[in-house]
Amino acid sequence: MAEPLPSPPVEPFELSGGELCLDFANTWGDRGRPATERLATYDDLLAFAHAAGYLSDPHLEALRGRAMAHPPRAAAALRRALDLREALYRLFSSQARGRAAAAADLNQLNDRLGAALAHLRVESREGAFDWVWSGVPEHLDAPLWPILRSAADLLTSPRRNWVRECDGAQCTWLFLDLSRAHSRRWCSMASCGNRAKARRHHQRKSA
Ligand SMILES: [Zn+2]
């Protein structure tokens, strides 16, 4: 029997935004380059939710099975996810630049927030109480629910003032700047920070 071909290496999701909603927005790393899109399929959305730690193994399998049984519905759920992601990107990018939020983007958040929060329940577990999302395996949109809550929480918290967008020329990464002076400019010094430094160095030398 032939050895199965090794599957191509999959880059892990980089969860460096500091909030779930920002990590989700960062699943498209640079809006000028389609190649940096990480959510090409509904399964990619499930992989993100699982990597971000809020979708359990059994729920991942249940939603994967539902998507395989209803491909057009899964494709529609992915489109809704991408619409939401771009609305959140615009909302937080505007926030980072000190610009007003677009009413249409805020409306999309509010319209979908209501449907998501209807699935929140308080359950008792081992003597304590906890927020629990109910009905996850039956809803292809369930991976978006915690993201909607995260976005609403961040927008209504003073932490929204620390949302930044990377200064890198080829990067639309959003992050929470939790540095002491709130002066962080790049998603990471290793990638965009060093590129910007090298470019300035080159410009000085050629000037
Ligand atoms: Zn960057």
**Domain assignment of residue 70, yes or no:** yes
**Domain assignment of residue 82, yes or no:** yes
**Domain assignment of residue 101, yes or no:** yes
**Domain assignment of residue 188, yes or no:** no
Q: Average pLDDT, stretch 149-178?
A: 95
Report the distance separating Cα 170 and Cα 19, nearest Å.
Answer: 22
The DSSP secondary structure of the chain, one letter per residue, reads -PPPPPPPP-PPP---SSSHHHHHHTTBS-TT-GGGB---SHHHHHHHHHHTT-S-HHHHHHHHHHHHH-HHHHHHHHHHHHHHHHHHHHHHHHHHTTPPPPHHHHHHHHHHHHHHHTTEEEEEETTEEEEEE--GGG-TTGGGHHHHHHHHHHHTSGGGGGEEE---TT---EEE--STTS---SS-IIIIIHHHHHHHHHHHHH-
Tell me the CA distances in angstroms from 99 to 44, 90, 91, 184, 192, one per residue in order: 31, 10, 9, 19, 24
How are beta strands 163-165 and 128-133 bridged, if at all?
unpaired
Q: Band the pLDDT of 5: cuts 50, 70, 90.
A: low
Q: How far is the CA of 174 from the centre of ligand 1 (A)?
A: 8
Q: Band the pLDDT of 6: cuts 50, 70, 90.
A: low
User: What's the confidence (pLDDT) of residue 101?
Assistant: 96
CB 55 within 8 A of CB 49: yes
pLDDT, tens digit, 9 for 90 and up, residues 66-98: 999 999 999 999 999 999 999 999 999 999 999
Q: How far is the CA of 179 from the centre of ligand 1 (A)?
A: 16
Q: How far is the CA of 10 from the centre of ligand 1 (A)?
A: 20
- Domain housing 28: 20-161
Q: Band the pLDDT of 169: cuts 50, 70, 90.
A: confident
Q: How far is the CA of 187 from the centre of ligand 1 (A)?
A: 4
**Domain assignment of residue 108, yes or no:** yes
Q: How far is the CA of 165 from the centre of ligand 1 (A)?
A: 8
Q: How far is the CA of 54 from the centre of ligand 1 (A)?
A: 25
**Domain assignment of residue 49, yes or no:** yes
Q: How far is the CA of 68 from the centre of ligand 1 (A)?
A: 35
CB 153 within 8 A of CB 18: no
Q: How far is the CA of 201 from the centre of ligand 1 (A)?
A: 18
Question: Structural domain tally of the chain?
Answer: 1
Q: How far is the CA of 155 from the centre of ligand 1 (A)?
A: 22
Q: How far is the CA of 168 from the centre of ligand 1 (A)?
A: 5
Q: Band the pLDDT of 108: cuts 50, 70, 90.
A: very high
**Domain assignment of residue 96, yes or no:** yes
**Domain assignment of residue 126, yes or no:** yes
Q: How far is the CA of 172 from the centre of ligand 1 (A)?
A: 7
Report the distance separating Cα 117 and Cα 120, nearest Å.
Answer: 5
CA 17 distance to own-chain centroid: 8
Q: How far is the CA of 21 from the centre of ligand 1 (A)?
A: 17
pLDDT, tens digit, 9 for 90 and up, residues 123-151: 998 899 999 999 999 999 999 999 999 99
Most confident of 10-24, 141-155, 168-182, 184-198: 141-155
- Please determine, for residue 122, whether its predicted confidence score (pLDDT) is greater than 80: yes
- Please determine, for residue 180, whether its predicted confidence score (pLDDT) is greater than 70: yes
